[in-house]
């Protein structure tokens, strides 16, 4: 009997050890800034599309809006017939690139202009990888390595890293000159999901009701680690808030937002 118990205990410990090992091998999803993918000059279109797919389901944050309900258009087959009907005289490749970098230029009927400018969080190479992935949804990949500007030619600073205080010339973050909290909420795309007065979208909790109800420390943590807590009543949409605001905002900008939301208006 004792032997059997011991054997079972050993099996349990062994199994736990294996799973812990495996868990440690899986990269942590939380706190992930889009990884700096080194995309070489000899990358093939198929490799680009594969990198794009990883970004699409992962660090790009696209699935926060696309593929779920009706907030954003379904992208299945986007490069087949859809692309051709969107903008007269604009090729599919150019249209997809524009959708990711200047989403405001053409807003599809029936949708709100909430799609973020992806240059804020992704490098040029990563954006082209996403275009390749999207072209692969029903069309032919015509993106090649030649479309990707050489490293350093603007925008290619996806992994500027560090929390706050980035803001150098190559930072993908929000212009450090902006310090007005309401302007910051607009520039950081917060209003794509939160309401402030007449502005914004009521996907997450309203900013109007936050003042006086939430401590500054809680608000700061909610912005830097959106998955640390889930606002009551918003369980269904937990996980949609992007996790990279800490890298886009300078420390001063973050504090300006926190003070404002905590009720110091
Ligand atoms: C905050 C929500 C949101 C996020 C995040 C988002 N999008 Fe969008 N996207 C939209 C909405 C809404 C539209 C339609 C309105 C418009 O045209 O801007 C759209 C439009 C598009 C279009 C044009 C589709 C068409 O049928 O013409 C493409 C392509 C696209 N998004 C790709 C992406 C990719 C790739 C990502 C991730 C890197 C992404 N989006 C992230 C909301 C979002
Ligand atoms: C793509 C959508 C999206 C964007 C963009 C977004 N949020 Fe959120 N946010 C949410 C959702 C959904 C929740 C509620 C679920 C949760 O708590 O995780 C939330 C929760 C919060 C909370 C906690 C509220 C509470 O009462 O617990 C704060 C604070 C917050 N967001 C601030 C911001 C700020 C500031 C920005 C811009 C820098 C921002 N959010 C951008 C979707 C978003």
**Domain span including residue 127:** 45-147
User: Are 56 and 131 part of one and the same domain?
Assistant: yes
Ligand 2 binding pocket mutation candidate from 112, 182, 192, 204 (most atoms within 8 A of CB): 204
CB-based pocket (< 6 A), ligand 2: 64, 188-190, 192-194, 203-205, 210, 214, 219, 222-223, 226, 230-231, 234, 237-238, 240-242, 245, 257, 261
Is residue 238 in some structural domain? yes
Count how many domains the chain has: 2
Is residue 164 in some structural domain? no
Give the model's pLDDT for residue 15.
43
User: Are 85 and 128 part of one and the same domain?
Assistant: yes
131 lines ligand 1 (CB under 6 A): no
CATH at 233: 1.10.760.10
Is residue 101 in some structural domain? yes
For ligand 2, the distance from its centroid to the CA atom of residue 205, given in whole angstroms, is 7
**What number does the ligand 1 atom closest to the CA of 118 have?**
38
User: Are 129 and 54 part of one and the same domain?
Assistant: yes
> Atom 34, ligand 1: which residue's CA is nearest?
62
Give the model's pLDDT for residue 86.
87
User: Are 116 and 185 part of one and the same domain?
Assistant: no
Sign of the Cα torsion 192, 123, 168, 218 reads positive
Ligand 2 binding pocket mutation candidate from 59, 67, 193 (most atoms within 8 A of CB): 193
Angle of CA points 14, 17, 19, to nearest 5°: 110
For ligand 2, the distance from its centroid to the CA atom of residue 189, given in whole angstroms, is 10
> Atom 41, ligand 1: which residue's CA is nearest?
62
Q: Is 261 exposed, middle or buried (0-12, 13-18, 19+ CB in 10 A)?
A: buried
Q: Compute the CA torsion angle 92, 93, 94, 100 (nearest 10 deg).
A: 100
Query: Residues 138, 76: contact at Cβ < 8 Å?
Result: yes
For ligand 1, the distance from its centroid to the CA atom of residue 222, given in whole angstroms, is 24
pTM of the model: 0.54
Domain boundary among 147, 171, 206: 147
For ligand 2, the distance from its centroid to the CA atom of residue 241, given in whole angstroms, is 5
Task: Please tell me the distance from the alpha carbon of residue 69 to that of residue 202, in angstroms, as a whole number.
Answer: 15
For ligand 1, the distance from its centroid to the CA atom of residue 263, given in whole angstroms, is 32
Task: Please tell me the distance from the alpha carbon of residue 265 to that of residue 259, in angstroms, as a whole number.
Answer: 8
Domain boundary among 95, 127, 147: 147
| pLDDT tens for the chain, residues 1 to 265 | 555 554 544 444 444 444 444 444 444 444 344 445 577 888 899 999 999 998 888 878 787 788 766 778 888 778 877 887 888 888 889 999 999 999 888 888 888 888 888 887 788 998 999 999 999 888 889 999 899 887 655 433 333 333 333 333 333 567 777 888 888 888 888 888 888 988 888 888 899 888 778 888 888 888 888 888 888 888 877 777 887 787 778 888 888 999 899 887 7
For ligand 2, the distance from its centroid to the CA atom of residue 204, given in whole angstroms, is 6
Give the model's pLDDT for residue 236.
77
Give the model's pLDDT for residue 69.
65
């Amino acid at each position: 009997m004792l032997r059997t118990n011991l054997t079972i205990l050993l099996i349990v410990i062994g199994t736990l050890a294996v799973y812990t090992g495996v868990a440690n091998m899986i990269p942590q999803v939380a706190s992930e800034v889009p990884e700096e993918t080194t995309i070489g000059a000899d990358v093939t279109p198929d490799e680009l599309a594969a990198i794009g797919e990883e970004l699409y389901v992962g660090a790009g944050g696209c699935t926060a809006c696309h593929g779920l309900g009706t907030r954003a258009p379904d992208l299945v087959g986007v490069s087949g017939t859809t692309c051709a009907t969107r903008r007269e005289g604009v090729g599919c490749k150019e249209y997809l690139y524009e959708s990711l970098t200047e989403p405001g230029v053409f807003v599809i009927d029936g949708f709100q202009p909430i799609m973020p400018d992806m240059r804020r969080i992704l490098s040029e190479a990563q954006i082209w990888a996403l275009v390749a992935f999207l072209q692969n949804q029903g069309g032919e990949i015509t993106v090649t390595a030649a479309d990707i500007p050489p490293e350093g030619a603007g925008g290619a600073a996806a992994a500027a890293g560090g929390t706050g205080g980035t803001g150098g010339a190559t930072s993908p973050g929000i212009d450090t000159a902006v310090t007005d909290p309401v302007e910051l909420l607009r520039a950081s795309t917060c209003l794509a999901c939160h309401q402030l007065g007449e502005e914004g979208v009521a996907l997450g909790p309203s900013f109007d009701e936050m003042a006086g109800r939430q401590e500054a420390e809680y608000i700061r943590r909610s912005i830097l680690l959106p998955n640390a807590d889930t606002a009551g009543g918003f369980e269904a949409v937990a996980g949609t808030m992007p996790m990279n605001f800490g890298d886009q905002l300078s420390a001063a900008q973050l504090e300006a937002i926190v003070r404002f939301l905590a009720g110091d208006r």
